[in-house]
Chains A and B, each alone.
Chain A
């Protein structure tokens, strides 16, 4: 097919160039797509500020069919569920990671690691259904609540969902702590527990911080599950017992209402504005995670 010798060299160069630019286009396109999505989100969402007054947007009541668009209860609802979920998931996740990496015998690790990966694969609808039919009645019965569909129920299941992420990232962080640290600690007469608690975990703390951030990002964006178990009552979670009462999150609101809105209505734009808020929150979380990784690198000693 090819003309030999004379055309061989330029032909090869050309192919090289074509492949290289193709790969470059593919690489850059992902940046482009993110940028385009961002632009679209901004275009659809920022119009809400023209349609709806600030006073209305910052109100404490969400009732879109009468054009009442207070986003505060939704924002606080999302934040409450996510924070509590992480508070529950953090000790469990780090504990599991420590067990898998530092304590468990080889065979147990061989079983545990794939199990954790299976955990990550359970669809959130299944977890939501589990929460609705099993967890909510349990909480209703034994915690003396008015209803089992509460922020707490949502947090518990979200915590379960964020666990695999937290465990695997935290485990990687523990893995990166040099063996010499452990040896030195043990050589100085520290027990295994002292070594883990005072040496290994502090050395891995920036990695554990990353794990928390990624878990947070995973939890705040979750939709189906919170829609099924948190009750979706758009109340302000300001009282002390709010954790044990229903709340409504931003994601559940977008999912429940996007199907019915007329395109271009102010309700439609406000839902996109909720999307922008979510985007910003996850962006900040990811930024924090990235800076934790960066700090880790800069400190040098630990990878």
Chain B
């Protein structure tokens, strides 16, 4: 008993010392180069699709530049953009372009937001591993999500009802899917998600249900698809080839459901924020691939 206690104390001491060392170590370079520059905090918030990537960027950048602190939070594209407009964050992450009303709201606050495309993303359509259906056209996916097709046997699968899964309406992925898949990119279309669609509050909610439920069909960012879900090949129309989402098919534009991912700043960025964004668009692109997204060319 006493021995254990001594061990514990010893470990705590070591921990304490190592923390102290790190603190001292991180101070050292500051003293040499940019002596009096205080640690700057960059607040970064928005899209849940982007949050893992944004975290990876932030961690890597902070390890390279110890005098910069970057805090990253999710919450959805709308949330991030609203916070940027209200001035509570420096960089908003968004998986959709800003809406006209949001631009106007920003201008009413006295600045015009600057847009950066930081990576590309593809939306994968996923089903349960046991589902025999392998490929769908955009038209078929649209019919499924509007409720026109409600049984898997109409698509060559088993006689099972289709359970529709979607992200909540505040997710950029939801809006993107509505405009580009359900409405097939037609501006005058007024098709909507079927009322039976389950709106799940997180990517994890979707993957959990797809993993468990052989009736389910879901969609999510390519970066969130785990091996225990089955991805479907998607074709733009019946004449086009059926393609799986991948770095090649997204970057050459052949995979039909892909999009740009954005960061927005309140006005022209400067100082540390500009340096951070420049790094993301340059060296930072290495991390994009590691997280399952598609880097810029």
- Known contacts A63-B169, A232-B168, A257-B169; A248 and B208 CB within 8 A of each other: no
Is there a chain A Cβ closer than 8 Å to B233's Cβ?
no
State how many angstroms separate the Cβ of B88 from the closest Cβ of chain A: 13
- Known contacts A147-B215, A233-B198, A246-B196; A260 and B82 CB within 8 A of each other: yes
Residues A233 and B168 in contact, CB atoms below 8 Å apart: no
Interface segment out of the listed A132-140, A170-178, A274-282: A132-140
Alpha-carbon distance between A245 and B195 when the two chains are bound, in angstroms: 12
Chain B, residue nearest A246 (CB): B198
Alpha-carbon distance between A103 and B62 when the two chains are bound, in angstroms: 65
Which of A66, A136, A235, A262 has its CB near the most chain B CB atoms (within 10 A)? A262
Contact of B168 among A147, A236, A256 (CB under 8 A): A256
Alpha-carbon distance between A137 and B216 when the two chains are bound, in angstroms: 13
Residues B201 and A232 in contact, CB atoms below 8 Å apart: yes
What residues of chain A have their CB less than 8 Å away from a CB belonging to chain B?
61, 63-66, 73, 132-133, 136-137, 140, 146-149, 227-228, 231-236, 245-246, 248, 256-257, 259-260, 262
Alpha-carbon distance between A84 and B101 when the two chains are bound, in angstroms: 42
State how many angstroms separate the Cβ of A65 from the closest Cβ of chain B: 5
Q: Can you identify 13 A-B contacts, CB atoms within 8 angstroms?
A: A63-B192, A132-B205, A137-B212, A140-B213, A146-B160, A146-B215, A149-B198, A233-B195, A233-B198, A234-B195, A234-B199, A256-B201, A260-B82
Contact of A65 among B75, B175, B197, B208 (CB under 8 A): B175
Residues A148 and B213 in contact, CB atoms below 8 Å apart: yes
Q: Which residues of A contact B76 (CB under 8 A)?
A: 259-260
Residues B212 and A140 in contact, CB atoms below 8 Å apart: yes
Residues B198 and A231 in contact, CB atoms below 8 Å apart: yes
Q: Which residues of A contact B209 (CB under 8 A)?
A: 147, 149
Alpha-carbon distance between A136 and B200 when the two chains are bound, in angstroms: 14
Is there a chain A Cβ closer than 8 Å to B112's Cβ?
no
State how many angstroms separate the Cβ of B96 from the closest Cβ of chain A: 11
State how many angstroms separate the Cβ of B295 from the closest Cβ of chain A: 28
Q: Which residues of A contact B161 (CB under 8 A)?
A: 146
Contact of A259 among B75, B101, B163, B199 (CB under 8 A): B75
Contact of B195 among A235, A259, A262 (CB under 8 A): A235
Is there a chain A Cβ closer than 8 Å to B170's Cβ?
yes
Alpha-carbon distance between A260 and B82 when the two chains are bound, in angstroms: 7
State how many angstroms separate the Cβ of A287 from the closest Cβ of chain B: 33
Q: Which residues of A contact B198 (CB under 8 A)?
A: 147, 149, 231-233, 246
Residues B78 and A260 in contact, CB atoms below 8 Å apart: yes
Residues A61 and B212 in contact, CB atoms below 8 Å apart: no
Residues B169 and A64 in contact, CB atoms below 8 Å apart: yes
Residues A245 and B196 in contact, CB atoms below 8 Å apart: yes
Is there a chain A Cβ closer than 8 Å to B79's Cβ?
yes
Contact of A262 among B105, B160, B200, B215 (CB under 8 A): B105
Alpha-carbon distance between A49 and B140 when the two chains are bound, in angstroms: 39
Alpha-carbon distance between A132 and B204 when the two chains are bound, in angstroms: 11
Which of B76, B161, B168 has its CB near the most chain A CB atoms (within 10 A)? B168
Q: Which residues of B contact A257 (CB under 8 A)?
A: 168-170
Q: Which residues of A contact B163 (CB under 8 A)?
A: 146-147
Q: Which residues of B contact A140 (CB under 8 A)?
A: 212-213
Q: Which residues of B contact A248 (CB under 8 A)?
A: 199
Chain A, residue nearest B82 (CB): A262
Q: Which residues of B contact A148 (CB under 8 A)?
A: 212-213
Residues B208 and A259 in contact, CB atoms below 8 Å apart: no
Chain A, residue nearest B163 (CB): A147
Alpha-carbon distance between A248 and B193 when the two chains are bound, in angstroms: 15
Residues A147 and B213 in contact, CB atoms below 8 Å apart: yes
Residues A147 and B216 in contact, CB atoms below 8 Å apart: yes
Chain A, residue nearest B200 (CB): A232
Chain B, residue nearest A62 (CB): B195
State how many angstroms separate the Cβ of B49 from the closest Cβ of chain A: 14
Q: Which residues of A contact B160 (CB under 8 A)?
A: 146
Chain B, residue nearest A231 (CB): B198
- Known contacts A63-B192, A66-B192; A260 and B212 CB within 8 A of each other: no
Of all A-B residue pairs in the complex, the 5 with the closest CB atoms, nearest first, are: A260-B170, A260-B78, A231-B198, A235-B195, A232-B199
Alpha-carbon distance between A245 and B196 when the two chains are bound, in angstroms: 9
State how many angstroms separate the Cβ of B63 from the closest Cβ of chain A: 31
Chain B 149-183 per-residue mask, 1 if CB under 8 angstroms from chain A, else 0: 00000000000110100001110000100000000
Q: Which residues of A contact B78 (CB under 8 A)?
A: 260
State how many angstroms separate the Cβ of B188 from the closest Cβ of chain A: 14
Chain B residues 203-236 with CB under 8 Å of chain A are: 205, 208-209, 212-213, 215-216
Alpha-carbon distance between A233 and B75 when the two chains are bound, in angstroms: 20
Contact of B170 among A132, A233, A259 (CB under 8 A): A259
Alpha-carbon distance between A246 and B161 when the two chains are bound, in angstroms: 14
Residues B192 and A256 in contact, CB atoms below 8 Å apart: no
